[in-house]
């Protein structure tokens, strides 16, 4: 688990054995929530990782409003690749309120997330290409991929990369669900606050349902890719138009 004070959901996505017996390198690719609140100690720890690239998946508005809190003289290359036009929840606050207070809130939210994941995976393919092209370059590694919470946008991209290099799906899902451990304490506190603010019209279960990472959402996208393209590599080549040479470079950079 992350030792950062204010870098939420920060973790290495490497260290997993692949289906062919190789291993995804550690210390090369990280995932995280927003880096806008890093403390002085966090910045020191961040510098020790020798990060060369920060790939920020947030909207342009988020990127400008809450930039990464790194030293001004840092050599880190910060690139904004907006993976969606709005945040998972905060970009559409009226929807969030309906999810929380509406009778069909959980069902509506579930449908919203499924559509959100689908759009990122299949309608923002050119952005997926841009991200992987960046990571394939040795000069950009080690790198951090992040969004606001490090759950959905970051979760999808991390899963695609892990699957590409051969990490078994059950381990990819395991890494995806670690988000829930990172936010467990925060989730409990948020549930209590929402209960009081709503005069207990919003149950802790409803808040938890909306905030948690759920395996079925990632699983649906994975199955959709396999159904349409038969493999992650074919999805990247055909849907994202990534050159096979880039894919091979990526594997070389991330495997040992």
Is the predicted pLDDT of residue 200 greater than 90, yes or no?
no
Q: What does the CA dihedral 199, 204, 205, 206 come to, rounded to 10 degrees? A: 50
Say how far apart CA 248 and CA 33 lie, in whole Å.
28
Is the predicted pLDDT of residue 84 greater than 50, yes or no?
yes
16 DSSP 8-state letter: P
Q: How sure is the predictor about 90, in pLDDT bands with cuts at 50, 70 and 90?
A: very low
112: containing domain: 11-254
Q: How sure is the predictor about 209, in pLDDT bands with cuts at 50, 70 and 90?
A: confident
User: Which tokens in the block code for residue 163?
Assistant: 């699957």
Structural domain tally of the chain?
A: 1
Residue 25 lies in a domain: yes
Residue 5 lies in a domain: no
Residue 4 lies in a domain: no
Residue 88 lies in a domain: yes
Q: How sure is the predictor about 208, in pLDDT bands with cuts at 50, 70 and 90?
A: confident
Residue 186 lies in a domain: yes
Residue 35 lies in a domain: yes
- Using an 8 Å Cβ cutoff, are 240 and 125 in contact? yes
- For residue 24, give the 3-state DSSP assignment: strand
Which domain CATH number covers 21? 3.90.190.10
Residue 154 lies in a domain: yes
* Mean predicted lDDT score pLDDT of the chain: 88
CA 148 to chain centre: 9
Residue 59 lies in a domain: yes
pLDDT tens for 21-75 read 999 999 999 999 999 999 999 999 999 999 999 999 999 988 999 999 987 657 8
Range with top average pLDDT, 1-15, 168-182, 198-212 = 168-182
- For residue 53, give the 3-state DSSP assignment: strand
DSSP-derived secondary structure for 57-89: -S-HHHHHHS-----TT---EEEE---SSS-SS
- Using an 8 Å Cβ cutoff, are 225 and 121 in contact? yes
As a whole number of Å, the CA-based R_g of the chain is 18
* Residues 96-118, mean pLDDT to the nearest whole number: 78
Position 26 scores a pLDDT of: 98
């Amino acid at each position: 688990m992350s030792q950062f004070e204010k870098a939420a959901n920060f973790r290495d996505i490497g260290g997993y054995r692949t289906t062919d017996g190789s291993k995804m390198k550690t210390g090369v690719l990280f995932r995280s929530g927003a880096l806008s609140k890093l403390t002085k100690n966090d910045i020191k720890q961040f510098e020790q990782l020798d990060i060369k690239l920060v790939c920020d998946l947030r909207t342009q508005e988020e990127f400008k409003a809450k930039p990464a809190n790194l030293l001004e003289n840092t050599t880190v290359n910060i690139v904004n690749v907006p993976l969606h036009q709005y945040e998972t929840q905060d970009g559409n606050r009226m929807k969030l309120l309906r999810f929380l207070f509406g009778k069909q809130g959980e069902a509506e939210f579930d449908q919203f997330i499924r559509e959100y994941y689908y759009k990122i995976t299949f309608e923002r393919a050119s952005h997926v290409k841009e991200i992987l092209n960046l990571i394939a370059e040795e000069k950009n590694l080690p790198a951090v991929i992040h969004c606001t919470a490090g759950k959905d946008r970051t979760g999808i991209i991390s899963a695609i990369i892990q699957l590409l290099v051969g990490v078994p799906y059950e381990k990819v899902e395991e890494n995806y669900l670690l988000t829930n451990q990172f936010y467990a304490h925060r989730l409990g506190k948020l549930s209590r606050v929402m209960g009081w603010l709503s005069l207990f019209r919003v149950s802790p279960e409803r808040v938890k349902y909306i905030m948690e990472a759920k395996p079925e959402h990632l699983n649906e996208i994975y199955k959709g890719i396999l159904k349409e393209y038969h493999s992650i590599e074919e999805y990247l080549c055909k849907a994202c138009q990534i050159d096979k040479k880039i894919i091979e470079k990526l594997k070389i950079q991330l495997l040992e």
